[in-house]
Structure 1
Amino acid sequence: MASHTIKGLSMKPILGDFGAEVLGVDWSQVPLPEDLITTLIRIQDKYAVLIFRDTGLNNERHVAFSAQLGRLEVNPVWGGSERVGTPYLFDVSNIESDGSLVKKDTRRWHHALGNALWHTDSSFNQHRSKYSLLLAHAVPGCGQGTTEFADTRRAWSDIPDSEKPKLRALVVEHELWHSRKLASPNEYEELTSEERNAKPPSYHKLVQQGPSGEETFFLAAHAKALFDDDGKRLADTQKIIWDLIAHCTQVKYTFTAEWKAVGTLMWWDNRQSMHRASPYTEKMRARDLRRSTVIDDGPLAFGMPESYIEKLQV
């Protein structure tokens, strides 16, 4: 798809109608005019992943812009990540609070390994997220900082029609600690009581509707189990989940975006995509990325009702 302009913004599509680099936003005027916010949301609905370069944003304006898109999720570990200076930003860097780089075989290093699995941010919360907005404050160098994105809309549309009814009926149990144990099984063999209490599992339909009404997968490495309409757990549930993730992450549905410079902002819709980060390496220089998360306010935001969760045969 060729580059084009929408209301003064230059669009460079990346993979058809999935992903686009956007130029022309004057980030110095944050909070942005409401008509511009409306235009950006319309563009976001279409492309699911938007990339902005050289934004010059700082924490304050990053948060202010994000808040124009909806209510922000509060970092549940605020008190342990004061380095970023606000509870509305998640510190997803390889930098400790004292400025040193994260060392291999620390709990934080192992926790970050889960980010290199295909996932959807905050799917493990019963009140799920809508948008993630990740801003670069320091990049480690060419090829060492990338994020891959997968189009779960097109992946769903390519499923044979004969298979779709049974997939629409399924419910996914999402749990943060499941993905962490997959990425680092020895480290997460035992959870601390604080970890266990902080993040119980959530339950969401496998097939959702995107902002324009189109169907899409809502899937992640956090997916621990699948259940049918009656709350019965499916046999071979992990095989089914990872077969679906493999389907969604075929080359034809994915692209890789590089964090080329400080000020790069990537804004994606968790209802329409999955993503994964490039993993930490011991030789990596400082990679300072900070994420705001906008809570979903749509009809499917709260996942399955309590009446369904109570009958689950776990």
Structure 2
Amino acid sequence: MEPIQIGSLTCKPLHPTFVAEISGVDFSQVPLPQNVIDDLVAAQNRFAVTVYRDTGLDDARHVKFSQQLNECELCPKFGGPAQPDRFSDPHLFDAGNMNLDGTLIQKDTRRWWYNKGNALWHTDSSFNQHRSKYSLLLAHLVPQEGGDTQFADVRTAYDDLPQEKKDEIEDLVIEHDLWWSRQIAAPEEFKSVTQHEKNAKQPAYHKLVQVGPDGRKTMFIAAHAKRVMGWSQEKSTKLITELIEHCTQPKYTCSVKWYHPGQLVWWDNRISMHRATPFSDQMEKRDMRRTTVFDDGPEAYGVPDAPQMELGGSLPPA
């Protein structure tokens, strides 16, 4: 596929419909000039997932660059006493497999099974009422093999749905719940989650069919999606599973390999899904740090009054 020029950026597509490797950015100059930010956002709207090979970013500039895109989410603490973090900046999410002292997280520990949810197709922070638009994941240590991140093109998947399915889902509202995905990923271990923890992280509600930043329709759905408002759990699970399986067919997916420290992958949670892939996590270290940028678009706060909706699952009259 031929490179595409967007302003000052050269974009090398890695898939026919989305994902591109971007060159032409000097991250040593963070904060970047506004014209460069504008080009980067334009590339993001076009490709949904963008890859930057040798950024040279450290924690401080990673956060500062992310904050040029909008306010960033603080790493949450769901119930119980706060655990110490590996990073000094509270905007950095720990997506690695290391303890505070640098040792590997051991199998069957609480954090190990909690991270199993990352292997499900998901969108970051969809369980928040004020959702995220971007995630920016920076590699500090990568394993020799495995540990790639797979992405799904939800816009093209929506385009290819039969018209009758589009009509069926047009006005549906979905409940997104962090604990739902964790229960799916590790049902036995999930039993240790306390009611206090569940109360500390309540569900969020978002329209299923939305318009992305490029004007194309898309679906806001993935592993945190628990149920359709007004539908039974059984009927909801059937539809949600059907849609996720549709979106994650090989023709809509692309695997991004992590080559070395300093590589940054930036994705739009509103128009893509992603999941982590296995690696030898009991033998090799994988140090990944993520910032999460709050959405500032028209659907940023979802449908907060959804629990009061009447049966039927669709949006209330305007």
Secondary structure of the corresponding residue to residue 186 of structure 1: helix
State how far apart, in whole Å, the 2-side matches of 1:172 and 1:5 are. 37
Preserved CA contact (<8 Å) 2:6 2:42: no
Q: Between Structure 1 and Structure 2, how many residues are aligned?
A: 309
Does 2:56 correspond to 1:60? no
Query: How big is the shift at 1:199?
Result: 1.2
Normalised TM-score (structure 1): 0.94
Residues 46-125 of structure 1 aligned to structure 2 (within 5 Å): 46-77=46-77, 79-125=82-128
RMSD (CA atoms) = 1.7
- Per-residue CA deviation, residues 79-119 of structure 1 (Å, 9 max, x unaligned), is 42421211101001100112111000001000110000000
Does 2:313 correspond to 1:310? no
Does 2:178 correspond to 1:176? yes
State how far apart, in whole Å, the 2-side matches of 1:295 and 1:100 are. 32
Q: Percent identity?
A: 52
Preserved CA contact (<8 Å) 1:140 1:284: no
- Amino acid of the residue matched to residue 144 of structure 1? G
Q: Which runs of 5+ in 2 are unaligned?
A: 314-318
Query: How big is the shift at 1:232?
Result: 4.2
- Amino acid of the residue matched to residue 185 of structure 2? A
Does 2:30 correspond to 1:30? yes
State how far apart, in whole Å, the 2-side matches of 1:95 and 1:262 are. 16
- Amino acid of the residue matched to residue 201 of structure 2? K
> What residue is the counterpart of 2:206 in the other structure?
204
Query: How big is the shift at 1:197?
Result: 2.4
Query: How big is the shift at 1:7?
Result: 2.6
Query: How big is the shift at 1:6?
Result: 2.6
Residues 130-279 of structure 1 aligned to structure 2 (within 5 Å): 130-141=133-144, 143-227=145-229, 231-233=230-232, 235-279=234-278
State how far apart, in whole Å, the 1-side matches of 2:121 and 2:310 are. 26
Go from structure 1 to structure 2 and tell me whether the alpha carbon gap of 1:40 and 1:81 turns closer, same or farther (over 3 Å shift). Answer: farther
- Per-residue CA deviation, residues 276-309 of structure 1 (Å, 9 max, x unaligned), is 0113544441100000000001111111132x32
Secondary structure of the corresponding residue to residue 14 of structure 2: strand
- Per-residue CA deviation, residues 241-286 of structure 1 (Å, 9 max, x unaligned), is 1111000000000010011100010000000000001135444411
Select between 113-122 and 185-194 the one with higher mean Cα deviation: 185-194
- Amino acid of the residue matched to residue 25 of structure 2? V
- Per-residue CA deviation, residues 34-62 of structure 1 (Å, 9 max, x unaligned), is 10000100110010000001111000000
- Amino acid of the residue matched to residue 59 of structure 1? D
State how far apart, in whole Å, the 1-side matches of 2:304 and 2:147 are. 39
State how far apart, in whole Å, the 1-side matches of 2:234 and 2:143 are. 43
Query: How big is the shift at 1:177?
Result: 0.8
Select between 173-182 and 193-202 the one with higher mean Cα deviation: 193-202
Q: Which runs of 5+ in 1 are unaligned?
A: none
State how far apart, in whole Å, the 2-side matches of 1:91 and 1:178 are. 21
